[in-house]
């Protein structure tokens, strides 16, 4: 299967964010994201990655420039449940079982219990946790909690999935198996676009169809590096010379 590219989904043009205290977190970012892409954002701490995500989700307004999501404002896109996000901290409610945690976004929309449980079970199956529906978060491992958190983000069938360092707290083996699962889920849904923040250059190259490298002071995208390799890539991709070369290319831009 090749990289899936379709219509423009997110359009950032001259996008800037200056916080009220005068900090310019993001300056003049131009990026066109197409439907079906998997884009990783890498860059040093404080270069504005999370601020870009917050502007896309409407949690922060932008100061200058344009930002459109499916031709809508970020607020409109969020209201239509087109955007979902996953953070490093899984943010599961400790008193609710797995199925209720996953079904929560649908409960908030007023979806009936029968329908939301059916949807929760569908996405739990996708992340390999169909057997955990009645378990409580404290009974799960760190990797399982992250899978539940991903299932909860998928339950509204978003067109755009934002992930802010979701695997940062996991050990390397769990991280790699979750990377594989995430790619499988993304490939099953031909129209879902994933934007993913990571500090890990290996993770960025393995996952993405394009790596957006950011530099600080003020935060801007200094380079877009295409990863022109078909999916599924498989574990062996990590040991190929092509993979090593791309990791080198991204690292070089980061070091400048």
Q: Which residues bind ligand ATP (CB under 6 A)?
A: 19, 21, 23, 25, 43, 45-51, 219
Closest CA to 197 of 56, 79, 4, 61: 56
Q: How far apart are CA 68 and CA 49, in angstroms?
A: 17
Output the smallest distance, CB 121 to ligand ATP, in A. 34
Structure token pair of residue 109: 């929309």
Output the smallest distance, CB 73 to ligand ATP, in A. 20
| Element of type H or E holding 33 | strand 24-34
Q: How far apart are CA 71 and CA 59, in angstroms?
A: 18
Q: Which of 128, 168 has the CB closer to ligand ATP?
A: 168
Q: Which of 101, 208 has the CB closer to ligand ATP?
A: 208
Output the smallest distance, CB 105 to ligand ATP, in A. 24
Output the smallest distance, CB 216 to ligand ATP, in A. 7
Asked if residue 37 lies in contact with residue 210, where contact means CB atoms within 8 angstroms, the answer is yes
Q: Which of 4, 54 has the CB closer to ligand ATP?
A: 54
Q: Which of 166, 219 has the CB closer to ligand ATP?
A: 219
Structure token pair of residue 175: 């991280």
Burial class, 123, CB count within 10 angstroms (exposed 0-12 / middle 13-18 / buried 19+): buried
Asked if residue 13 lies in contact with residue 65, where contact means CB atoms within 8 angstroms, the answer is yes
Output the smallest distance, CB 220 to ligand ATP, in A. 12
Q: Which of 43, 105 has the CB closer to ligand ATP?
A: 43
């Amino acid at each position: 299967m090749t990289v899936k590219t379709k219509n423009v989904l997110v359009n950032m043009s001259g996008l800037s964010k200056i916080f009220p205290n005068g900090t310019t977190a993001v300056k003049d970012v131009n990026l066109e994201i197409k439907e079906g892409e998997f884009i990783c954002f890498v860059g040093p701490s404080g270069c504005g990655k999370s601020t870009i995500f917050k502007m896309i989700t409407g949690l922060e307004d932008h100061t200058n420039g344009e930002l459109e999501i499916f031709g809508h404002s970020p607020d409109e896109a969020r209201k239509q449940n087109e955007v979902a996000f996953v953070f490093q901290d899984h943010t599961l409610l400790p008193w609710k079982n797995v199925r209720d945690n996953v079904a929560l976004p649908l409960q908030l929309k007023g979806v009936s219990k029968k329908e939301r449980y059916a949807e929760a079970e569908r996405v739990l199956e996708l992340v390999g946790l169909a057997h955990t529906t009645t378990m409580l978060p404290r009974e799960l491992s760190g990797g399982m909690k992250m899978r539940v958190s991903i299932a909860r983000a998928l339950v509204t069938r978003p067109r755009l999935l934002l992930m802010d360092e979701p695997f940062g707290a996991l050990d390397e083996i769990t991280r790699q198996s979750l990377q594989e699962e995430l790619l499988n889920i993304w490939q099953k849904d031909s129209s879902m676009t994933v934007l993913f923040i990571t500090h890990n250059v290996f993770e960025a190259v393995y996952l993405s169809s394009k790596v957006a490298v950011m530099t600080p002071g003020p935060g801007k995208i200094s380079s877009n590096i295409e990863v022109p390799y078909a999916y599924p890539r498989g574990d062996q991709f990590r040991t190929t010379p092509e993979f090593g070369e791309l990791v080198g290319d991204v690292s070089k831009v980061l070091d400048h």
